[in-house]
């Protein structure tokens, strides 16, 4: 499987030029320079998308319990669900400035 290149050609050219200008730099020095600039390596959280089946289940739940009173709901506890993917295409890695979300970096 071929890995898709997500870095634009102009940025790749700038990276290659920087390496050619300083061929003795290494990944530790590069990482330190990025950290000093406030840019950290992250693996973004990926949330599974809800399917039509999930939406139908939610609607069915609401319709089933819509008439219940406060006494009923005072005994109900809702918790967050943990979702797991049945496939794994590997982690996505990114470098981003501190205190910015993946969405803020890529949707300005």
Is 22 within a domain? yes
Residue range of the domain that includes 86 = 9-106
pLDDT higher than threshold 80 for residue 58: yes
Q: In total, how many domains does the chain have? A: 1
CA distance 28 to 34: 10
Is 4 within a domain? no
Q: How confident is the model at residue 24 (pLDDT cuts 50, 70, 90)?
A: confident
Q: Looking at per-residue confidence, does 81 or 98 come out higher?
A: 98
Is 49 within a domain? yes
- Please indicate, yes or no, whether the overall pTM of this predicted structure exceeds 0.95: no
Beta strands in 1-108 (DSSP E): 39-42, 94-97
Is 24 within a domain? yes
Is 54 within a domain? yes
Is 3 within a domain? no
Is 60 within a domain? yes
Is 1 within a domain? no
> Scanning the structure block, which residue is given the tokens 């790749």?
12
Tens digit of pLDDT for each residue in 63-81? 999 999 999 989 988 776 6
Percent of the chain with pLDDT over 90: 16
């Amino acid at each position: 499987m071929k890995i898709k290149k997500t870095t634009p050609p102009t940025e790749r050219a700038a990276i290659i030029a920087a390496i050619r200008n300083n061929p003795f730099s290494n990944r530790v020095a590069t990482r330190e320079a990025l950290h000093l600039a406030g840019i950290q390596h992250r693996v973004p959280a990926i949330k599974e998308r809800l399917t039509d089946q999930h939406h139908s289940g939610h609607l069915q739940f609401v319709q089933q319990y819509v008439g219940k009173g406060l006494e009923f709901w005072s005994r109900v506890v809702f918790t967050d669900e943990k979702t797991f993917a049945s496939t794994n295409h590997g982690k996505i890695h990114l470098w981003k400035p501190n205190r910015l979300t993946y969405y803020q970096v890529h949707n300005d």
